[in-house]
Amino acid sequence: MRLRPRRRCDRTRRRATTLAEVVVIVALIALVCGLVLPPVKRGFDRIQTRAAARETMTAFFTARAAAIALGRRTAVMLDAGRARVVVISGADTLLRRDVGAARGVRMTASRDSMSFFPDGLGVGGANLSMIFVRGAAADTVFASREGRVKLGAKAR
């Protein structure tokens, strides 16, 4: 039995991908990224606005609890331009949250401050609403005259 000699092209067979194959793979990756990234960004924006709203709610809860515990008026100061929330009792700053810098949100508020009496009730004749916006996501926080704070429905 005689073996046939191998052909030279069998020994030097190419094992790489062609340019056309690489272009197809890159196009598929770009298509998948184009479909997946926008919902991921919207979800991340929702997470950041919700976190900013919860941090602001915590500031209001802290102010109300401090007013009751210390027996003196405690104020929540809102700087909508910088999206900053500061809790002040007398000359003491109890809490400061820069939600704009930390979360990348913009804040609008119907008033610039709210105070709490030592009995826990809010000072002022109107309720306070704050809207936190990032991208297409928005969350609202409401503070009532009675001292209650709640996370509202999405503004957009």
| 10 — pLDDT class (breaks 50, 70, 90) | low
Predicted local confidence at residue 38, as pLDDT: 83
What are phi and psi for residue 20, nearest 5 degrees? -65, -40
The whole-number pLDDT of residue 17 equals 82
> Is residue 46 scored above 90 in pLDDT?
yes
Higher pLDDT, 152 or 103: 103
Mean pLDDT for the chain?
Answer: 87
pLDDT tens track for 89-141: 989 999 999 999 999 999 999 999 999 999 989 887 678 999 999 998 999 99
User: What confidence score (pLDDT) does residue 156 get?
Assistant: 44
Q: Which residue has the higher pLDDT, 155 or 146?
A: 146
pLDDT digits (tens, 9 = 90+) for 69-96: 999 999 999 999 999 999 999 899 999 9
pLDDT at 132: 95
The CATH H-level (homologous superfamily) assignment of domain 18-151 is minor pseudopilin epsh domain (3.55.40.10)
